[in-house]
């Protein structure tokens, strides 16, 4: 989804990928940012928090008239129906990120 959003073009691909991973881990309650992830990504959890919040905001307030093909594709079982995952409540996300 970020590929078609100009605001995300200034972010480095590695930071964007790391932030997406942290958001996915948080959304699925699979734990937080581990020292191993920090070592191999080069990012501390705190460095990713602002971008994680922006990504969740993008998921929460996405226009439904755009990117229909992308949404349809990633709603399929082959892609684990990730387009159907409910975004996190912004306050809950903020609370979880503060505890990391």
| Claim: this prediction has a pTM higher than 0.85 | no
d(CA 96, CA 75): 27
What mean pLDDT comes out for the span 79-90?
86
Does pLDDT of 86 surpass 90?
no
- How would residue 12 be classed by pLDDT, with cut points 50, 70 and 90? very high
pLDDT tens, residue by residue, 23-70: 999 998 898 899 999 999 999 999 999 999 999 998 888 766 666 787
| CATH 1.10.472.10, domain 2-99, yes or no | yes
SS (H, E, C) the chain: CHHHCHHHCCCCHHHHHHHHHHHHHHHCCCCCCCHHHHHHHCCCHHHHHHHHHHHHHHHHCCCCCCCHHHHHHCCCHHHCCHHHCCCCCHHHHHHHHHHC
Domain range annotation of the chain: 2-99
Quote the CA–CA distance of 47 and 73 in Å, as a whole number: 31
Distance from C-alpha of 82 to C-alpha of 59, rounded to nearest angstrom:
11
The pLDDT, as a whole number, for residue 65 is: 66
């Amino acid at each position: 989804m970020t590929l078609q959003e100009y605001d995300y073009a200034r972010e480095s691909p590695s930071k964007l990928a790391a932030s997406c991973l942290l958001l996915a881990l948080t959304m699925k309650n699979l734990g937080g940012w581990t020292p191993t992830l920090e070592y191999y990504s080069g990012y501390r959890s705190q460095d990713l928090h602002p971008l994680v919040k922006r990504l969740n905001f993008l998921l929460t307030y996405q226009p439904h008239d755009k990117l229909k093909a992308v949404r349809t594709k990633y709603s399929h079982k082959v892609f684990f129906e990730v387009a159907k995952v409910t975004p996190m409540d912004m306050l809950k996300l903020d609370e979880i990120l503060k505890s990391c």
